[in-house]
Amino acid sequence: MDPAKDGVLVKRLGPFSYSVSYMGKRVIFRLNNAWDRDPQKAQLRKTEVFVGPIFDESGLKFFLLFDKREKHFLYMLNEEGYVPESFIPLGEDVVLGRRTGFALFDGKRHKRKILIGVHGRSVDRNNWYDGPFDQLPDNYVEHTKISRYLEEAYPFARGNIDKFGGYLTQKEARIPIFSYTVYYREEDLLELVRSCRSSKSEEGQFYSCITPDPYQLIKAPGTPETE
């Protein structure tokens, strides 16, 4: 659909402000600015960089991180302010959100919680709790330069995506950052962490192991199936 042909005029007023006019009526839309501050309380590891903020439709905020050594994305819970969730401990270092069903690794050493799983029923229903893969920090793309990290994490994307991570040859398709598992049984989350702890000696490898990303398994050039 071409808004102009339909008589709809969209004008950018600022980074988070747009006006939409139609049939003599004008409405100004003010987008939410989720970039309150960079991570302050939680600690980043030496190989990690903060890419940008995420305000998920679940109501939770996350910090999108990128591990330069592992070439891997992580979703870290933003606990700088009020967090609209309470957590149930599943094990020594895994907690589960009562409302969202989000599973997080409680990394006490770095004072942070990393998203490791979302419930399969939420993914099947495509509801508000299916994870933040579709809530990337697009409003800050000029600052985040996220495409450079996408090309490092997903080699098949090199030269094939725009600055947002959208495919140049496939309209409205983009790379989802799906670095967490889909679980149906809580026991599987604990087994995932136990298995990664026993098989990965380096901390960066451990974090990549507990946040598996299926799109990083794609080696050959091409466009993967997207959500």
| Contact (CB, 8 A) for 75 and 62 | yes
Total structural domains in the chain? 2
Same domain, 84 and 187: yes
- Tokens 């402000």, residue located: 17
Same domain, 121 and 180: yes
Same domain, 13 and 52: no
Same domain, 189 and 143: yes
Same domain, 26 and 111: no
38 within domain boundaries: no
Q: How far apart are CA 98 and CA 9, in angstroms?
A: 43
> What tens digit of pLDDT does each residue of 133-169 get?
988 999 899 889 999 999 999 999 999 999 999 999 9
| Contact (CB, 8 A) for 29 and 17 | yes
Token pair recorded at residue 18: 């747009």
Same domain, 23 and 97: no
Which DSSP helix (H) or strand (E) runs through 97? Answer: strand 94-97
226 within domain boundaries: no
Please name every residue paired with 77 in a beta bridge, in sequence order, or none if there are none.
Answer: 62
Same domain, 119 and 7: no
Same domain, 128 and 17: no
Q: What confidence category does residue 227 fall into, taking pLDDT thresholds of 50, 70 and 90? A: very low
Q: What is the average per-residue pLDDT within 191-218?
A: 93
pLDDT of residue 55: 93
Is the Cα dihedral 70, 128, 33, 161 positive or negative?
positive
**Cα–Cα nearest to 37, from 81, 5, 73, 74:** 81
Same domain, 1 and 82: no
Please name every residue paired with 11 in a beta bridge, in sequence order, or none if there are none.
Answer: 19
176 within domain boundaries: yes
Q: How far apart are CA 26 and CA 57, in angstroms?
A: 27
43 within domain boundaries: no
With a cut of 80, say whether residue 222 has pLDDT above it: no
Q: What is the average per-residue pLDDT within 73-80?
A: 96
**3-class SS letters over 133-172:** HHCCCHHHHHHHCHHHHHHHHCHHHCCCECCCCEECCCCC
Same domain, 22 and 64: no
Q: What confidence category does residue 46 fall into, taking pLDDT thresholds of 50, 70 and 90? A: very high
Which residues have a Cβ under 8 Å from the Cβ of 115 and sit 6 or more positions away? 62, 74, 75, 76, 77, 102, 103, 104, 131, 132, 180, 211
For residue 195, give its domain range. 48-217
Same domain, 4 and 96: no
pLDDT of residue 164: 94
> What tens digit of pLDDT does each residue of 91-139 get?
889 999 999 999 999 999 999 999 999 999 999 999 999 999 988 999 8
Same domain, 56 and 135: yes
